Amino acid sequence: MQDKNPGVMDDSVLVEQILKGDTKAFGELVNRYWAMAFHLCYQWTRNKQDAEEITQDAFVKVHKYLKRLKNKTQFARWFYQLVLQLIHENYRSRKSHKTLPLEEKITGASNSELDELDKLAIYDMLNLLSDKERLVLTLRFYRGLSCDEIAQHLNEPIGTITSRLFRAYEKLREKLK
């Protein structure tokens, strides 16, 4: 498969270089996946500090367990599953998971706090989606990838990706009515 972006290394090439000890390749992998992992963590935790911590933990585990990845072309899928596993571990480890009703969050909120509340409302709506739908939306809007690029990243048919995007849009549209 030919890379559509000349000069941009394929994940499998980066993985091979990392396994050979190339720290620059690991840095490139972190740069490539940090935002996606952070946004996914933030969607679940709704806490910047927790999201950053889980994202950091994910890359520590990547460094530690990358050699166990059998199919190097499946890095994106493997990493996504790793992040989800860490999110669920974080959620289970909390003794209580409290969220305030939206009305209580708005009381006395400043404009910057209202911007943050808008983000929280969006994250609440994203939680209506399946993990796969949320991943596709994250890759589409936070990473700016096309459907074709997402399909290549996740090693799935483009029809599957467009179908997931369509279903996600429909669910969100219903929620907004």
pLDDT per position as a tens digit, 68-114: 998 888 898 899 888 888 887 887 776 444 444 433 333 344 444 44
pLDDT at 3 > cutoff 50: no
Q: Taking residues 38-54, report their average pLDDT.
A: 86
- How far apart (Å, rounded) are the C-alpha atoms in residues 124 and 143? 20
- How far apart (Å, rounded) are the C-alpha atoms in residues 164 and 57? 28
pTM: 0.56
Domains of the chain: 8-94 (1.10.1740.10)
Tokens representing residue 142 in the block: 């936070």
Q: Quote the pLDDT of residue 21.
A: 92
Give the CA distances from residue 110 to residues 105, 106, 107, in Å, rounded to whole numbers and listed in that order: 11, 9, 9
Q: Quote the pLDDT of residue 27.
A: 92
- How far apart (Å, rounded) are the C-alpha atoms in residues 45 and 88? 10
Return the closest-CA partner of residue 37 out of 17, 15, 62: 62
User: Which region among 8-12, 99-103, 135-139 has the lowest average model confidence (pLDDT)?
Assistant: 99-103
| Contact call for residues 73 and 11 (beta carbons, < 8 A) | yes
